[in-house]
Amino acid sequence: MALWMETGSEPKTETEIADLEAISALKESTALELKEKGNELVKKGKKHYPEAIHCYSRAIDQKALNDHDTSVLFSNRAHVNLLLGNYRRALSDSQDAIKLFPANVKDLVSAIEDRRLKLGNAMYRELTGLRKPVLDKNGILHWPVLLLYAEFMSSDFIEDFCETDMFSAHLDIMFSESCPPLPWDKENHYSRDAIELYYEAGSGICLSKSKILRYLLEGTAAANVESIGEEEKDAADGSPYDSSAGSYKWVKVNEKRTLHDVLNEPNFIIPMIPVFYVVSKRSGFYKDFITGKWRPPA
């Protein structure tokens, strides 16, 4: 039988091949069962976490799953170790999980980390969909950027805002005289010389690397990392922006600065893709906005 074959030898007969296929299928089935058992144990609460880790470890030891499924196991075990305060083990498992993710996503995460950018929960997904930043061959980040006209809750998209571009370059094009007027701007308040850009500061949760990875993998073949014990993981993963009470404010964007410089502001938590609010100095809404009387819808 193939079970007794010497290490490194190739199966020669149909029986040996069939035996190896059966063994491989059995190991794969065992690994998947152990993974599901681990997930169920996590949902039962903290006293079951050590047993869940044991299940994930046994599943990994089967060495029977593809890279994606194995990365899920490492990711799940990392989360449980994090919940138990086993930070070194959690870090090691996270690194092993990342090694198995698609290379382009790993490079993108590295670029975000190198720039010390802070990413938070996505906003306005009904408008942004699955848009994500892209890292080009020269190591430059290109962001989709959402512009919201707060007064009317209308929106515009800049599909490719290179991090080295200044805001003025894009606004000059969007509000040039050759562009048609905005359909809801009946009084022509939103002209190039009247608009100002702001971002929301002083609120938000900085997401962990694992959650950023999960977001960036949405829509890819590696997107199915399980959501186990989500409530507890959310509490452990995220870290609130450290701001003093009442520090909520709108911060005006200097149009001569680059996107990279603005995103690097210490009080800017990017809601997965950058969101900026456009207001007009000529509008009666302007005073309500800058004094904080208007807030984004929850």
pTM: 0.63
Distance CA 62, CA 56 (A): 10
Distance CA 144, CA 133 (A): 6
Per-residue pLDDT tens for 205-255? 899 887 888 788 775 545 544 444 444 444 444 554 444 434 458 999 999
Task: Please give the CATH number for the structural domain made up of 13-102.
Answer: 1.25.40.10
Distance of CA 218 to the CA centre of its chain: 9
Residues forming CATH 3.10.20.90 domain(s) in the chain: 106-204+241-290
Per-residue pLDDT tens for 65-122? 887 788 889 888 988 988 899 988 988 887 787 777 666 777 888 999 999 999 999 8
Q: Which residue type occupies 115? A: R
Residues forming CATH 1.25.40.10 domain(s) in the chain: 13-102
Distance CA 136, CA 231 (A): 35
Half-sphere exposure (Cβ direction) of 247: Cα atoms closer than 13 Å: 11
**Domain 106-204+241-290 CATH (choose: 3.40.50.300, 3.20.20.450, 3.40.190.10, 3.10.20.90):** 3.10.20.90
Share of the chain above pLDDT 70, in %: 83
Of 123, 73, 83, 48, which Cα lies nearest the Cα of 208? 83
